[in-house]
Amino acid sequence: MSVRLLRPLLLAVGLAVVVWLVWDLGPAAVWDAIHALSWRLGLVVLFPFGVAVVLDTLGWRVLLPTCPVPWGTLAAARLAGEAVNLLTPTASVGGEPLKAYLVRDRLPLDLGLASVIVDKTTTLVRRLREATWALIGLEALAAFKSRSAGPAAGGSSPAGGSGGA
């Protein structure tokens, strides 16, 4: 199938999925959610994603200090790779080679692949660090709550008795 036919076909499939989702959820429910959020919908949906794209692209750019690839091209390649990661069951790594492939005309493929691997590894390390701190925080919160609950929560006195005579 040629690319000229594939793009309109994929657009039609995407629009059909959106229409089906709106129909399944109910147009009134979708409209109520959009109306309740009003202009904040853009902030809630687009702002965090936009910031993440900018920062992730800058992180990839840092790995290529002598890179002749413009920031916009790197951002477009990153978005395409992330789309493949999200849409395919490849455990969020299927789009990584695509990123390097899309910038191959301005960057050697081996350098592009190496930069993508380092970028993905640093992202993994960052997420593991964040998860570790989150678990430490949850454990500290649980310990604090159990200490602040005191004997009333356990139903026994500090001496170990039941509080009776």
- pLDDT tens for 26-55 read 999 988 888 887 877 778 778 888 888 898
What does the alpha-carbon distance between residue 107 and residue 65 come to, in Å, rounded to a whole number? 12
What does the alpha-carbon distance between residue 92 and residue 101 come to, in Å, rounded to a whole number? 16
Are the C-beta atoms of residues 119 and 104 closer than 8 Å to each other?
no
CA diameter of the chain: 88
- pLDDT tens for 107-146 read 888 888 898 899 888 888 888 999 999 999 999 999 888 8
User: What residue spans define the domains of the chain?
Assistant: 39-145
Looking at the predicted structure, is the pLDDT value of residue 101 above 80?
Answer: yes
What does the alpha-carbon distance between residue 81 and residue 98 come to, in Å, rounded to a whole number? 6
- Please give the distance of CA 26 from its chain centroid, rounded to a whole number: 27
Which pLDDT band holds residue 20 (cuts at 50, 70, 90)?
A: very high
Closest to 81 measured CA to CA, from 59, 69, 96: 96
In the predicted model, what is the mean pLDDT of the chain? 83
What does the alpha-carbon distance between residue 36 and residue 34 come to, in Å, rounded to a whole number? 6
What does the alpha-carbon distance between residue 7 and residue 22 come to, in Å, rounded to a whole number? 23
Are the C-beta atoms of residues 115 and 64 closer than 8 Å to each other?
yes
Looking at the predicted structure, is the pLDDT value of residue 157 above 60?
Answer: no
At residue 151, the pLDDT reads 61
